[in-house]
C-alpha cells in the first residue's frame, strides 16, 4: 500500500507516462478534478460555516457524495489541524479505515502515515506529523481510557453512524458527556439518510446538513421463487448479465455474507464463463476469461488486494463480490448491476443461554434498499434480489437492530466500568441495550473475576481492561503470568487474533490437509497454533518455509506483530512474561481458566453437549482433536459457529478437575464410586436456582441496575 504518484508541488507535477490509463487516473491533477466534481465539494463553504457555528453537526448524504474522503480534508484546509491538533475520523470497519486513509493521502499527495494516517487494533500508521487520522471506532473508544478529554483532537468525525456499530453507539454516550466539558471540541456525525433525526435529537437538536446528490432510478427485480442456494443463483445471474449485455454497459456488484461464499462465488463465475466460452469456441479453454475481472472484498483480505477494486479495468467488466462493506463504506464507481443475496453475517447474543455467535441472517429492508441504490450512481441500473417480494415484506425488519441490542456486552461494560461509569443504566445510550443483556454480561464479568460482589472492578478486572482483547483472552493471559506460562499463552492469544493461518488452496486440498496434520497436537487446537508459531520461529520466520507448509505468511507475520505489542503492554503493566518450557498442562490449565464458561462434555460419537446450556455441539472437522483417535471427555472452545451444524472451533481437551477449579461458579462434580479404587467423575451444571441465588448475592439487581 502506498501513494502511487506524489507531486512535488502543484505546478511541478511529475511527467505523466503516455498511454497509461492507470497513471492518468492517479495523477494529482486528475484527482483534484474528481474531487471538485463531488457533491460535497459543491457545498464546501456552507458546510464549513455551519460547523464553525455549531458544536455538533449531523451531515447526511448519498453514499459516494464525498463525506468520508472530503470532510476531513475541508477541516484541515480550514485550519482545524493548526497548532498540532488532529481531525479524527472513525469508521466501524478496519478495511474502510485503511482504504479511506490511503485514498485521502493520495488525494493530498502525501505519504500514508505522515500527514494522513490510520490506526486500527494492533496497527498504528500515524506519526507526529499526522493531522488527519482515520481509525476504527474501537480505537477511539480505547483512547478515551488513557486520555479522557481527547485533548489532541480539535474535531471528531463519526463516520457511518447509521451502521450503529457497538463501539459507535458507546462513543455517542461518552462524547455527549465530553462535549459539555470541552466546548472547543467539534463533533460531526455523518450518516446515510436513515437514522439522522435520531442523532440530532440525541445531541440536543443538533443541526442537520444534507449534501444534495443525484441518483438514477434502479429497477428492482425479485426472484420469483425462494432461492435454495444463493451462491449458485448469484453465479447464474452474474453470468446471465455478463453474457447478454456489452461490457461497456457497466460493472456488477454482488453482495454476499463473508469470505467463504465470496470465494465460492468468484470461483463459480469464472468456472461457468470458461465453460460457456469453451463450448462456444469448440475447444478446451484453460485460461481466464479475458473480458472480465472478478474481485473479492472482505475484511481478512490484504490491503493491497482490497485496493484493486478501485482500479479501472479498461475493456473488461468488473465484478466486485463484497460483504456489506460495499453497502455504504466503499463506493465502486461504474456499477450498474447489483446482485443481492439478502443475507449478512450478524453477531448475535442469546442472553438466556449465554451464547454468542456469528449467524447468517436476513438483512433489513433499509439495507436491501441501500444495496440496490448502489446500481444507480452513474446511470439507471438494475438490482437483482435473490429473494421473493413476499420475503422482503414478511421476513425483513424495517431497520437493522443496532449491535448494542443484540451482542454480548461484557467487553463494553468492562470498559465503561473502567471509565468510572458505575450506573450502567444511567449511561446515555441512543438506544439502551435490553436489561437482560446487561445483566448477563455483568454476570459473566463477575464469574471470570473482573467484578466483585458489588459490581466494582477488581484488580484483575482493571488489568483486563488494559488489554485490547476479549475478556476470556485477557483473563487467560493474566492467569498465565501467575501460572508461569505467559510466553506460551502470549503466542496463542496472538495467533487467535489473526485470520486463518492454514492455507488450503482448492487444487491442493489433500496435500495441504496432510501438511496441516504434521502440526497437530492431538489434545489441543490452541497448542497446535503454538506449535505452528514455534516452528516458524525456529525456521527464522521464513516466508519460504510458510509456503512449503501451506501456512499464510501474512497472518503469521501479523501474529508476530501483535505478539510484540502485547509483550510491550505486559511489560508496561508489569505482568511477568515467563515460559513453562515443556509443561503443556500448565498451558492447557490457563486455556481452561479463560474459557471455563465455554465447556462441553462428550455425549456421543463426535458429539458434545455444552455444559451450561445443553446445546448439542460438534467439533469442527479441521480440529487437531481428530488426530488422536478417541475424542476427549471434556473440552473448552474458543468460538461457536452456527452454520448448518453447530460447530465449535479451536478446541482444547481439559481435565474435569480444572473445570471444577476454574468454573467453580458453574459446575458441580458428582463422584460415583464403583468399587474401592475406581470412581467416575461427572461434571454438571449447577442447578439453575443456585445460579440465580448467586446473581442475587451479587446484588446486581439491587445495587447496580436500578437507580
Q: Which stretch binds ligand ADP (CB under 6 A): 58-66, 112-120, 245-253, 450-458?
A: 58-66
Residue 66 engages ligand ADP in binding (rule: CB under 6 A): yes
Residue 489 engages ligand ADP in binding (rule: CB under 6 A): no
362 binds, among ligand ADP, Mg ion, none (CB under 5 to 8 A by kind): none
Distance CA 457, CA 494 (A): 25
Contact flags string 326-365 toward ligand ADP, x per CB under 6 A: -----x-x--------------------------------
Q: How far is the CB of 100 from Mg ion (least distance, A)?
A: 7
Closer residue to Mg ion (CB): 199 or 349: 199
Q: Which stretch binds ligand ADP (CB under 6 A): 67-75, 130-138, 264-272, 564-572?
A: 67-75
DSSP state of 66: S
Contact flags string 87-106 toward ligand ADP, x per CB under 6 A: ------------x---x---
Nearest one of 112, 86, 81, 77 to 98, comparing CA atoms: 112
Residue at shortest CB range from Mg ion: 68
Closer residue to ligand ADP (CB): 60 or 490: 60
Element (H, E) at 353: none
Contact flags string 25-44 toward ligand ADP, x per CB under 6 A: -------------x------
Q: How far is the CB of 487 from Mg ion (least distance, A)?
A: 42
Interface of this chain with Mg ion, residues 6 to 25, rule: CB under 5 A: none
| SS3 per residue for 601-640 | EEEECCEEEECCCCCEEEECCCCHHHHHCCCCCEEEEEEE
Q: How far is the CB of 353 from ligand ADP (least distance, A)?
A: 39
Question: C-alpha grid cell for residue 76?
Answer: 484541515
Distance CA 340, CA 642 (A): 22
Residue 73 engages Mg ion in binding (rule: CB under 5 A): no
Residue 68 engages ligand ADP in binding (rule: CB under 6 A): yes
Q: Which stretch binds Mg ion (CB under 5 A): 60-68, 277-285, 414-422, 666-674?
A: 60-68
Q: How many residues bind Mg ion (CB under 5 A)?
A: 2
417 Cβ contact partners less than 8 Å away, ≥ 6 residues apart = 445, 451, 455, 456, 457, 461, 465
Question: C-alpha grid cell for residue 403?
Answer: 449491535
Among 64, 173, 250, 433, binds ligand ADP (CB under 6 A): 64
Helix residue spans in 549-600 (DSSP H) = 553-572, 584-594
Q: How far is the CB of 312 from Mg ion (least distance, A)?
A: 21
Q: Which stretch binds ligand ADP (CB under 6 A): 62-70, 79-87, 501-509, 612-620?
A: 62-70
Element (H, E) at 532: helix 525-538
Q: How many residues bind ligand ADP (CB under 6 A)?
A: 15
Q: Is 136 helix (H, G, I), strand (E, B) or coil?
A: strand
Nearest one of 584, 582, 562 to 653, comparing CA atoms: 584
Pairing of strands 634-642, 646-653: antiparallel
Residue 68 engages Mg ion in binding (rule: CB under 5 A): yes
DSSP state of 501: -
Distance CA 350, CA 534 (A): 37
Question: C-alpha grid cell for residue 166?
Answer: 457497538
Distance CA 231, CA 452 (A): 49
* Residues at the contact surface with ligand ADP, assessed by CB under 6 A: 38, 61, 63-70, 99, 103, 310, 331, 333
Amino acid at each position: 500500500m502506498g501513494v502511487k504518484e506524489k507531486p512535488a508541488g502543484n505546478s511541478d507535477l511529475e511527467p505523466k507516462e503516455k498511454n497509461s490509463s492507470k497513471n492518468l487516473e492517479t495523477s494529482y491533477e486528475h484527482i483534484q478534478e474528481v474531487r471538485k466534481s463531488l457533491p460535497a465539494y459543491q457545498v464546501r463553504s456552507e458546510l464549513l460555516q455551519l460547523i464553525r457555528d455549531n458544536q455538533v453537526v449531523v451531515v447526511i448524504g448519498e453514499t459516494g457524495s464525498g463525506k468520508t474522503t472530503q470532510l476531513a480534508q475541508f477541516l484541515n484546509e480550514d485550519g482545524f489541524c493548526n497548532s498540532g491538533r488532529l481531525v479524527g475520523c472513525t469508521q466501524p470497519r478496519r478495511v474502510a479505515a485503511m482504504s479511506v486513509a490511503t485514498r485521502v493521502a493520495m488525494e493530498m499527495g502525501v505519504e500514508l502515515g505522515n500527514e494522513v494516517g490510520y490506526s486500527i487494533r494492533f496497527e498504528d500508521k500515524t506519526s507526529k506529523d499526522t493531522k488527519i487520522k482515520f481509525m476504527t471506532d474501537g480505537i477511539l473508544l480505547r483512547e478515551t481510557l488513557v486520555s479522557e478529554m481527547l485533548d489532541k483532537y480539535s474535531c471528531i468525525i463519526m463516520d457511518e453512524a447509521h451502521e450503529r456499530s457497538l463501539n459507535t453507539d458507546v462513543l455517542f454516550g461518552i462524547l455527549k458527556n465530553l462535549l459539555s466539558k470541552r466546548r472547543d471540541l467539534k463533533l460531526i456525525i455523518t450518516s446515510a439518510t436513515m437514522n439522522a433525526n435520531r442523532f440530532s435529537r440525541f445531541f440536543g437538536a443538533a443541526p442537520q446538513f444534507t449534501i444534495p446528490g443525484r441518483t438514477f432510478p434502479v429497477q428492482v427485480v425479485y426472484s420469483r421463487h425462494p432461492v435454495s442456494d444463493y451462491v449458485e443463483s448469484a453465479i447464474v445471474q452474474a453470468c446471465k448479465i455478463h453474457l447478454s449485455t456489452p461490457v461497456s454497459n457497466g460493472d456488477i456488484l454482488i453482495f454476499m455474507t463473508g469470505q467463504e461464499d465470496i470465494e465460492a462465488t468468484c470461483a463459480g463465475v469464472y468456472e461457468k464463463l470458461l465453460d460457456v466460452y469453451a463450448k462456444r469456441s469448440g475447444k478446451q479453454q484453460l485460461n481466464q476469461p479475458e473480458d472480465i475481472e472478478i474481485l473479492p472484498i472482505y475484511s481478512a483480505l490484504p490491503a493491497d488486494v482490497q485496493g484493486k477494486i478501485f482500479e479501472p479495468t479498461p475493456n473488461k467488466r468488473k465484478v466486485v463480490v463484497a460483504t456489506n462493506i460495499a453497502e455504504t463504506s466503499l463506493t465502486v464507481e461504474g456499477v450498474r448491476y447489483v446482485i443481492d443475496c439478502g443475507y449478512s453475517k450478524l453477531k448475535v447474543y442469546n442472553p438466556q443461554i449465554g451464547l454468542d455467535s456469528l449467524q447468517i441472517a436476513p438483512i433489513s429492508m433499509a439495507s436491501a434498499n441501500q444495496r440496490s441504490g448502489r446500481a444507480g450512481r452513474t446511470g439507471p441500473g438494475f438490482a437483482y434480489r435473490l429473494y421473493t417480494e413476499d420475503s422482503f415484506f414478511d421476513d425483513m425488519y424495517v431497520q437493522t437492530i443496532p449491535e448494542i441490542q443484540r451482542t454480548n456486552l461484557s467487553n463494553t461494560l468492562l470498559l465503561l466500568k473502567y471509565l468510572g461509569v458505575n450506573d450502567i443504566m444511567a449511561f446515555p445510550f441512543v438506544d439502551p441495550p435490553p436489561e437482560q443483556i446487561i445483566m448477563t454480561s455483568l454476570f459473566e464479568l463477575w464469574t471470570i473475576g473482573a467484578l466483585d460482589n458489588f459490581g466494582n472492578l477488581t484488580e484483575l478486572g482493571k488489568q483486563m481492561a488494559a488489554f485490547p482483547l476479549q475478556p476470556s483472552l485477557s483473563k487467560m493471559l493474566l492467569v498465565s503470568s501467575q501460572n508461569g506460562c505467559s510466553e506460551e499463552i502470549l503466542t496463542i492469544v496472538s495467533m487467535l487474533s489473526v485470520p486463518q493461518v492454514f492455507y488450503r488452496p482448492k487444487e491442493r486440498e489433500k496435500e495441504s490437509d496432510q501438511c496441516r496434520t504434521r502440526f497437530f497436537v492431538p489434545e489441543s487446537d490452541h497448542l497446535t497454533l503454538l506449535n505452528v508459531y514455534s516452528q516458524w520461529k525456529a525456521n527464522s520466520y521464513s516466508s519460504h518455509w510458510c509456503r512449503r507448509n501451506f501456512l499464510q505468511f501474512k497472518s503469521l507475520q501479523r501474529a508476530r506483530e501483535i505478539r510484540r505489542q502485547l509483550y510491550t503492554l505486559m511489560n508496561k503493566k508489569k505482568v511477568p512474561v515467563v515460559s513453562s518450557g515443556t509443561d503443556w498442562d500448565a498451558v492447557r490449565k490457563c486455556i481452561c481458566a479463560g474459557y471455563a464458561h465455554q465447556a462441553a462434555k462428550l455425549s456421543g460419537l463426535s458429539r458434545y453437549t455444552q455444559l451450561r446450556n445443553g446445546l448439542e455441539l460438534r467439533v469442527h472437522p479441521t480440529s487437531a482433536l481428530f488426530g488422536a483417535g478417541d475424542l476427549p471427555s471434556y473440552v473448552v472452545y474458543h468460538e461457536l459457529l452456527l452454520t448448518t451444524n453447530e460447530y465449535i472451533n479451536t478446541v482444547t481437551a481439559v481435565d474435569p478437575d480444572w473445570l471444577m477449579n476454574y468454573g467453580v461458579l458453574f459446575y458441580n462434580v458428582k463422584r460415583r464410586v464403583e468399587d474401592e479404587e475406581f470412581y467416575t467423575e461427572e461434571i454438571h451444571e449447577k442447578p439453575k436456582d443456585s445460579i440465580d441465588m448467586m446473581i442475587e448475592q451479587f446484588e446486581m439487581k439491587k445495587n447496580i441496575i436500578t437507580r
